[in-house]
Structure 1
């Protein structure tokens, strides 16, 4: 019978030695394969017999044969050794990121500007990872993350409404400035910087469907003492730029929205008064992060550090 302590004392290496001896029928042959001396193998097997509390091998003139207990333990050892080999293989593949998949949630302005730079680097480094993206609105991004549809996602917030959710961990990727778009024929187009006070009489091109940038415009205008006059509701930023380019109005947009700039549009800074938004990488707080997620996280922050000044 096993003693009370022996159940916690089995050493996987000794089990592997027992298995090899049983399969080879010889301590010497097993020692050669395992790169031990025969005396070292014998010593380890004696310790295993002490742990088990009964003989495991019967010595004969031509090798050894397992006892009934030895046969039983060797059968279990075979399963354990195979499982450990499979574990090493799986861990080795993961450590080298030789396989895996990752789904990342994102939003349109980032997907059209900063994110492709990250993806290019990530795919070059980890070509075997199956990377997919889901572009959605803020609430959908959070819901996808919480449900596990995405492994991580990119979000944003502003100082007056910081993102807080105890179930989600966020890391700031970078901060980006809000800029003003005017037509190249606009009287202010020869300027590099403008103030909101100078824009109080302008008509505004804004995003439709209560887009977050509308609140940014309204707050900036109200702080300056005027109500913005809305001239056009655009479905996306390319449409907004097109309307600005023909003089329908001016627009306020996050800087990543003009990564692809219309040739007839001029981008003006608001200087220190420009509203800043944080771009955030979000992950669930309660999960163990997969290696592909860790690799993407690292690559994303590396690229963000390299391009920190591009969006201010």
Structure 2
């Protein structure tokens, strides 16, 4: 084939394949793309004919799965589509202007600390960059950086899926949270041995839960878990009501729960190793110019004071 000959498939067909792979069904892809199921099915069939290869196995009751060849085509299609979007974005902006979307992944408990200063200041500096947010725990981020669904993510340094590139933003040691009227509230610090027989409100979202339990395990202790919740503020709310203590990393300026009950932070004695907060991005490809600018901007901020 001559270098100038057009391929026998279209970017539209590739985008339909990628969407169907992400959704797992033709119907799901059709709903997301706002087209009919038959349009998606026809596009997939036309793409398979153009490539002379079976890319998917479609069963009405079981949805859609990729063949080995299909998985390879999807991976390469994501790169082609990303390049096409970059070309389109580059032509929409003035010389030197950053234009286009960035999808930011963020661990939920980091979102209130990391996202506000980042979105406000970077967004103000680059108004034509579209910043989309995906809050997800580390396990749910797995594969999304490599696939191109997420451009950059802000996560704790433990249990980061895959082998992304990374840069450290800041580090904080975990602390204990108790109600303001707890007998320990005025002590300033507390030993984990003093807490082992008390009720723990566990933030049960990886890697936070594993980190909390590892702190006790390192001292030969097993905490008594009363409630498991998946929200940072749910921990603070239950603690504020006196239902137990919590162990958290982020340190909000507000010392009250959603309900207005005051909570107190206590340092852990002896000190525990700090937890790093990293910005990560795919190692498999160079980030777009706007994504690189966001990474550099995040690294330039005076964390964690940037949230103040």
TM-score range, shorter chain: 0.5 to 0.7
Whether the 8 Å contact between 1:121 and 1:299 is mirrored in structure 2 is: no
1:280 maps to 278
1:136 counterpart = 2:136: yes
2:104 maps to 104
| Cα distance in structure 2, aligned partners of 1:267 and 1:94 | 49
Secondary structure (helix, strand or coil) at the match of 1:101 reads strand
Whether the 8 Å contact between 1:205 and 1:244 is mirrored in structure 2 is: yes
| Cα distance in structure 2, aligned partners of 1:139 and 1:275 | 23
| Cα distance in structure 1, aligned partners of 2:212 and 2:137 | 19
1:255 maps to 250
1:229 maps to 224
Question: Displacement, 1:212?
Answer: 2.6
1:227–1:251 CA distance, 2 compared to 1 (3 A): same
Secondary structure (helix, strand or coil) at the match of 1:114 reads helix
Matches within 5 A, 1:1-16: none
1:238 counterpart = 2:233: yes
Whether the 8 Å contact between 1:112 and 1:259 is mirrored in structure 2 is: no
| Cα distance in structure 1, aligned partners of 2:297 and 2:138 | 23
2:199 maps to 203
1:310–1:217 CA distance, 2 compared to 1 (3 A): farther
2:169 maps to 173
1:145 maps to 145
Query: Deviation per CA, 1:79-112, whole angstroms, max 9, x where unpaired?
Result: xxxxxxx99x849736222x22211111111112
| Cα distance in structure 1, aligned partners of 2:95 and 2:223 | 54
2:94 maps to 93
TM-score, length basis structure 2: 0.63
Question: Displacement, 1:172?
Answer: 1.3
| RMSD of equivalent CA atoms | 2.7
Question: Displacement, 1:279?
Answer: 1.4
| Cα distance in structure 2, aligned partners of 1:122 and 1:148 | 21
1:307 counterpart = 2:303: yes
Secondary structure (helix, strand or coil) at the match of 1:226 reads coil
Secondary structure (helix, strand or coil) at the match of 1:221 reads helix
1:184 counterpart = 2:195: no
Query: Deviation per CA, 1:169-198, whole angstroms, max 9, x where unpaired?
Result: 111121122110001111110122222122
**Max Rg structure:** 1
| Cα distance in structure 2, aligned partners of 1:113 and 1:157 | 16
| Cα distance in structure 1, aligned partners of 2:170 and 2:118 | 13
| Cα distance in structure 2, aligned partners of 1:108 and 1:90 | 35
Which of the two has greater helix per residue?
1
2:62 maps to none
Secondary structure (helix, strand or coil) at the match of 2:181 reads coil
Secondary structure (helix, strand or coil) at the match of 2:228 reads strand
| Cα distance in structure 1, aligned partners of 2:122 and 2:220 | 46
Whether the 8 Å contact between 2:142 and 2:161 is mirrored in structure 1 is: no
| Cα distance in structure 2, aligned partners of 1:310 and 1:190 | 28
1:66 maps to none
Query: Deviation per CA, 1:223-275, whole angstroms, max 9, x where unpaired?
Result: 3332111111223121111111121111111125x455424210111256224
1:264 maps to 262
TM-score, length basis structure 1: 0.62
Secondary structure (helix, strand or coil) at the match of 1:247 reads coil
